[in-house]
Structure 1
Amino acid sequence: MAATTDTSSYKFNHTMIRVKDPKESVKFYEFLGLKQIRKLQFPEAKFDLYFLAYDSPSAASAGRSTFDREGVIELTHNYGTESDPDYKVNNGNTEPHRGFGHTCISVDNIQAACQRIEDAGYKFQKKLIDGRMRNIAFALDPDGYWVEVIGQKPLEATATVSTTDVTTYRMNHTMIRVKDSEKSLRFYQDVLGMSLLRTAPNPAAKFTNFFLGYAAGNVSSPVPAEGVSSAAFREGVLELTWNHGTESDEAFSYHDGNQEPQGFGHICVSVDNLEAACERFEKLNVSWKKRLTDGRMKNVAFLLDPDGYWVEIVQNEFLAGKANFDQ
């Protein structure tokens, strides 16, 4: 009997970004409460991979194997960049190389959390007091990637709270900009099996945000306070930002992060049966960056979404009963 695949068991596993100095980057993300759960070394190819995730007893994916989680951040370090004074990543938010936007953590007490980040000497792209949206902030990691900070409670409920507990944080979502929202929504829903969790239109600013995730995704939370979405307690959310009108501009395109200048690499979905999932994708006439049979690594594949972003497909290790990499 041929192997089958069920998208309801898929997980939005991780987001990969390239970093200049892994020591500084790991230090930053660990300061935000994430834990290095795995390191894969490929000295022959001259790069290492660092996987970080929230792993306290109260974390949504606590104790799970690397590819049986949601809300993981993968840092890719290419040897030598840390000592190259000219090396700089593309953070995805600077013209003409926009595409990837940010990762996002949700926190217990947002004012206290932002003050803690600032007190540690880290910079902000946007503080809470800046601009019109006073309920979100954007911290900057050592490479200048934006990390959105959102609250798990109403802003007014935490205004006088001076403490914050990183064990309650979530790696909530990853944002990418898309040219044609209809094409992207079809891809992520019909091909990858995600569900549309929420649509947030902003007609005055001429953009709409779409939030997607797997229906059985990681939601580990108390009952949300009034005015707070339960999505703030989730991991594994994908935010698609559509700037109105880009879909009708034939010459318009976003930077995928893998052409020069590089930065963001890919998002990753872990699946129940890797071969069966790839056979299903083939029948759906997807665009491939790498099939399972291509190259030396026969245990990963890469799809291309409508904007050319790479989507890695890997086996869920727990469901397979064995690790994906023998390191």
Structure 2
Amino acid sequence: MTDPGRYKLNHSMLRVKDPKESVKFYEFLGMKLVNRIESPEAKFDLYFLGYDSPKAASHANHWTDREGLIELTHNYGTEDDPTYKITNGNSDPYKGFGHVAISVDNIQAACQRLEDAGYKFQKRLTDGRMRSIAFALDPDGYWVEIIPQKPAESTESIKESDLTTYRMNHTMIRVKDIKKSLEFYRDVMGMTLKRTSKNEGAKFDLYFLGYGPPPSGSSPSGVSAVADQEGLLELTYNYGTEVDPDFKYHDGNAEPQGFGHICVSVDDLDAACSRWEEKNVNWKKRLTDGRMKDIAFILDPDGYWIEIVQNEKLKTRTKW
């Protein structure tokens, strides 16, 4: 048997050009390297980063028993290739993946710290109408949204930010048909809809899903009700895309590449895959395909890849 209530949205994978620069950036945001998998025979390395201070949501857990990790994938030689460049998912005709989001205790101090360190922004707090969020740029140009855990006005006079309180809150992907995507992520993947943000004037809606119960109670103005959580998935739906038969988002794995996948860790890998087999999911890779018998990949309605791995705390399978 398998229980989707025990699943975790474990990580989001991003391809990077230079792992030294990328690891440095995410460590500057307070993350720690919690696992590294080297594959010299296949000429790639994987770096798993997440929040791991005593205040973190999953401090000291096995890397498969966490939510909100970022996996950086480095293919050997890209750092020395002047022509290599990822697509960040936010420029036509390659829109699809949007961003990862970090929630912080003090958004003014957090953004000032990034700016003082020389990191660039897609949107500063003072840009545009939305003064409660910012978008920093990582070394490859991926967007990193910065959102507050507390009302911005309550922290204006505070000059420091406590990195040990940060959370890797969510990963955003754009979806064509929100009804199909919500049905898939709730009924097939077993997630819970935790928050909805309707923006009819701008003709887009946001849906936040994750494992575990929805939040209880309300949140202060300007603060998401799920800002203190990790491992959420934000689905962005732009009105009308579902009626265009030719419309398609870029999955990040076709050229030019960038974002690779999200990953769900499960209580029992074989049982979970059997459940998904019964639900007739679209497989990119079954457990029995290829040489790697400890991972599977499912395709969501837009063709985004979802990696499936065993939560090693719940059942030992692989010595990662």
Same fold per TM (> 0.5)?
yes
CA distance in 1, matches of 2:296, 2:185: 16
Q: Are 2:266 and 1:268 equivalent residues in the alignment?
A: no
Deviation at 1:21, TM superposition (A): 0.1
Partner SS, residue 227 of structure 2: helix
Letter in 2 for 1:277: A
Q: Are 2:157 and 1:140 equivalent residues in the alignment?
A: no
Name 2:314's counterpart in structure 1: 319
In the alignment, is the contact (CA less than 8 A) between 2:194 and 2:213 conserved in 1? no
Letter in 1 for 2:172: M
CA distance in 2, matches of 1:232, 1:245: 29
Name 2:115's counterpart in structure 1: 118
Structure 1 segments of 4+ aligned residues over 4 angstroms from their partners: none
CA distance in 2, matches of 1:32, 1:252: 36
Q: Are 2:241 and 1:205 equivalent residues in the alignment?
A: no
Name 1:241's counterpart in structure 2: 236
Name 2:174's counterpart in structure 1: 177
Which of residues 266, 275, 281 in structure 2 aligns to 1:280?
A: 275
Partner SS, residue 171 of structure 1: strand
Deviation at 1:230, TM superposition (A): 3.7
Name 2:186's counterpart in structure 1: 189
Letter in 2 for 1:226: P
Unaligned stretches of 5+ residues in structure 2 = none
CA distance in 1, matches of 2:227, 2:185: 20
Aligned identity (percent) is: 68
Which of residues 116, 126, 130 in structure 1 aligns to 2:127?
A: 130
Partner SS, residue 232 of structure 1: coil
Letter in 2 for 1:199: T
CA distance in 1, matches of 2:303, 2:151: 37
Letter in 2 for 1:241: T
Partner SS, residue 314 of structure 2: helix
Deviations 1:4-50 (A, max 9, x none): 10000000000000000000000000000000001000111000000
Deviations 1:197-253 (A, max 9, x none): 011010111000000011159x9xxx9863334410000110000000000000000
Deviation at 1:159, TM superposition (A): 1.3
Name 2:220's counterpart in structure 1: 226
Partner SS, residue 226 of structure 2: helix
Name 2:6's counterpart in structure 1: 9
CA distance in 2, matches of 1:196, 1:224: 16
Letter in 2 for 1:43: P
In the alignment, is the contact (CA less than 8 A) between 1:154 and 1:225 conserved in 2? no
CA distance in 1, matches of 2:75, 2:293: 21
Letter in 1 for 2:227: A
In the alignment, is the contact (CA less than 8 A) between 2:96 and 2:249 conserved in 1? yes
Q: How many pairs were matched up?
A: 318
Deviations 1:67-126 (A, max 9, x none): 000010000000000000000001000100000000000000000000000000000000
CA distance in 1, matches of 2:105, 2:287: 41
CA distance in 1, matches of 2:242, 2:143: 25
Letter in 1 for 2:211: Y
Which of residues 150, 154, 167 in structure 2 aligns to 1:153?
A: 150
Which of residues 247, 252, 256 in structure 2 aligns to 1:252?
A: 247
Q: Are 2:29 and 1:35 equivalent residues in the alignment?
A: no
Letter in 1 for 2:238: N
Deviation at 1:164, TM superposition (A): 0.4
CA distance in 2, matches of 1:314, 1:67: 8
CA distance in 1, matches of 2:219, 2:184: 33
RMSD after superposition: 1.3
